[in-house]
Structures are given as C-alpha cells and as structure tokens.
Amino acid sequence: MPWKHCPCEICRRDGIDVIIFRGNNRLRRRGFQNTDVFYRPLQRALAGEPVEPGRAKVQPCAQLDLFETLETTGT
C-alpha cells in the first residue's frame, strides 16, 4: 500500500485511486501522442508530398485515390 506511506497530498487525498487510474491516464496520453505522430505524415501525404515515417514511404495512389505504403529498398 504505497499510497498510504507517500507524503504527497494527492496520495493522501485519493488513496488507491492514484495507483489504479495512473496506468489508464498514461495509456490515454500515449494514445494521443500516437495519433499525433500518425496525423503529421498523413497531412503531408494528403498534400501530395512523399512521406517517409520510419522505414515505410507513404505516397498518394492516383488510381485508387488511396494511400499505399511502400517498403523502402534503401535506395
């Protein structure tokens, strides 16, 4: 019961809820960050610019009006 021994006001006020909901909030923040990381290259791809997030290139596909992901070959 670490929240009982913690001197901070939050642990004293909220008790076990600090431990239970801490993980949920961390996952929620991480989800927002992942959405932002995806959104930036998507906006560039929608503008018609080639985008290289990590190891894949995303380019507009004119035939399907979709985006296809092409693995880079290192060239």
How far apart CA 41 and CA 57 sit, in angstroms, is 10
Q: Highest mean pLDDT range out of 6-10, 37-41, 47-51, 59-63?
A: 47-51
Which pLDDT does position 20 carry in this prediction? 65
7, pLDDT greater than 70: yes
Which pLDDT does position 63 carry in this prediction? 43
55, pLDDT greater than 60: no
Which pLDDT does position 19 carry in this prediction? 63
pTM: 0.33
Instruction: Return all residues near 16 (Cβ < 8 A) that are at least 6 apart.
Output: 1, 3
CA angle 28, 51, 39 (to 5 degrees): 25
How far apart CA 29 and CA 10 sit, in angstroms, is 20
- Which amino acid would we find at residue 33? Q
Q: Domain-by-domain residue ranges, the chain? A: 2-71
